[in-house]
Homo-oligomer: A and B are copies of this chain.
């Protein structure tokens, strides 16, 4: 998977209110199973499992099997990485826009 695709799955994973709630709950509990989490959520356990799958694919969550239950916990690194990437993008684009603006002003000079 390319880096761009990695960013995409993180963004897509976070662009869902249920998934954000799930992350928040998970941050409060520290570690929890799908069944436990589903109890505090407005959707079925199966829905929670699917969401955990998506979050896991995005690296935002990791699961560990303990006996018959599956314990999930949050991973915040991809979040931080994505935040940095976004910030970098913003400055990069701003820089380009500034350059274009400068060129336009130079054209103004020569026009006069």
Contact = CB atoms under 8 A, between A and B. Distances in A.
Contacts of A94: 76
Interface of A: 4, 8, 11-12, 14-17, 20, 23-24, 27-30, 73-74, 76, 79-80, 82-84, 86-87, 89-90, 92-94, 96-97, 100-101, 104
A90 B83 contact: yes
Oligomeric state, in copies: 2
A83 to B, nearest CB: 4
Contact of A17 (B4, B30, B96): B4
Interface of A is mostly: helix
Given A8-B17, A11-B11, A30 B79 contact: no
17 contacts: A8-B17, A11-B15, A24-B93, A27-B96, A27-B97, A29-B100, A30-B97, A30-B104, A76-B93, A76-B94, A79-B86, A79-B87, A80-B90, A82-B86, A83-B84, A83-B86, A87-B87
Nearest to A79: B90
